């Protein structure tokens, strides 16, 4: 795995940062994409300290030109792209469907789905033309790609759509030696999931605290998925806090 080149979106914090560090420990060059330069710089410091090589590219994944520039810089600096971790995402506070504004809906869909598509498309263009040809794309789905939380329409819809994007890319990538899989994550210990330990609304209307897992486990999972040769693929992986209320009825 040493010497491989990864593009990680949403790399400034949380899951993106944890994955970047895990890859750096295995000798990757990591292209760090995100909107906030300060947080990307902190991730870059951690990547370099872990033994990797970093390149910061401030990127709005909803902007086609910015995404094109991201991959141009990645290839220009490192010569190729072996892995895209398609991780950038956003959410809004829970809102009933009938109260949801179109702007709020579009904001989530633009980042979580259209942004993921633009990055995947740019990765396809880079990977099919490089030598050796091919690479791996891992889309960040979510437990919400399987089952919704209350009042989570735009987020859940976007993550269900990511599953369709993953399947199409997996099929269409075959002729270019591009493997595409998806990781569905439940309750990793990030700032976004901090509310879980304080208590969140359940399907029956009750409020309950939920267990979380160390976000470093996500980095290890991504590193494993990318450790396989391109003739093997983890199509879907679900990794979650063991005791979170997902399997069964709570």
**What are 128-153's pLDDT values in tens digits?**
999 999 999 999 999 999 999 999 99
Q: Which residues of the chain have pLDDT under 70?
A: 1-2, 249-250
pLDDT at 114: 98
247 within some domain: no
Q: What is the CATH number of the domain that holds 140?
A: 3.40.50.720
pLDDT at 196: 82
Q: Could you list the residue range(s) of the whole structural domain that residue 201 is in?
A: 5-240
* Contact status, residue 67 vs residue 33, Cβ threshold 8 Å: no
Q: Is 155 a catalytic residue?
A: yes
248 within some domain: no
22 within some domain: yes
178/154 Cα distance (integer angstroms): 29
What is the number of helices (H) and of strands (E) in the chain? Answer: 8, 9
Placement of tokens 């940062």 in the chain: 17
> Does pTM surpass 0.85?
yes
Q: Say whether 139 sits in a helix, a strand or coil.
A: strand
pLDDT at 16: 98
221 within some domain: yes
202 within some domain: yes
246 within some domain: no
111/118 Cα distance (integer angstroms): 10
Placement of tokens 């009938």 in the chain: 98
Tokens of 95: 């809102």
82 within some domain: yes
- DSSP assignments along 23-39, one per residue: HHTTT-EEEEEES-HHH
105 within some domain: yes
Q: What is the CA radius of gyration of the chain?
A: 17
pLDDT at 199: 86
Structural domain count, the chain: 1
């Amino acid at each position: 795995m040493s010497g491989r080149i990864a593009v990680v979106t949403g790399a400034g914090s949380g899951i993106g940062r944890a994955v970047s560090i895990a890859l750096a420990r295995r000798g990757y060059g990591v292209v760090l994409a995100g909107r906030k330069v300060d947080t990307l710089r902190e991730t870059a410091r951690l990547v370099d300290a872990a033994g990797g090589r970093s390149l910061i590219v401030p990127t709005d994944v909803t902007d086609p030109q910015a995404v094109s520039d991201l991959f141009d810089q990645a290839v220009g600096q490192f010569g190729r792209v072996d892995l895209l971790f398609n991780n950038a995402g956003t959410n809004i506070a829970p809102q009933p469907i009938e109260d949801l504004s179109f702007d709020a809906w579009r904001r989530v869909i633009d980042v979580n789905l259209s942004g993921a598509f633009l990055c995947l498309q740019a990765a396809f263009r880079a990977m099919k033309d490089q030598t050796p040809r091919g690479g791996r794309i891992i889309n960040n789905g979510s437990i919400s790609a399987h089952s919704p939380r209350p009042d989570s329409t735009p987020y859940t819809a976007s993550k269900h759509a990511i599953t369709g994007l993953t399947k199409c890319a997996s099929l269409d990538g075959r002729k270019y030696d591009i493997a595409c899989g998806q990781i569905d994550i439940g309750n990793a210990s990030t700032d976004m999931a901090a509310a879980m330990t304080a208590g969140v609304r359940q399907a029956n209307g009750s409020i309950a605290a939920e267990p979380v897992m160390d976000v470093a486990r996500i980095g290890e999972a991504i590193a494993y998925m990318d450790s396989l040769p391109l003739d093997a693929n983890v199509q879907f992986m679900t990794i979650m806090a063991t005791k979170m209320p997902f399997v069964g009825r709570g």
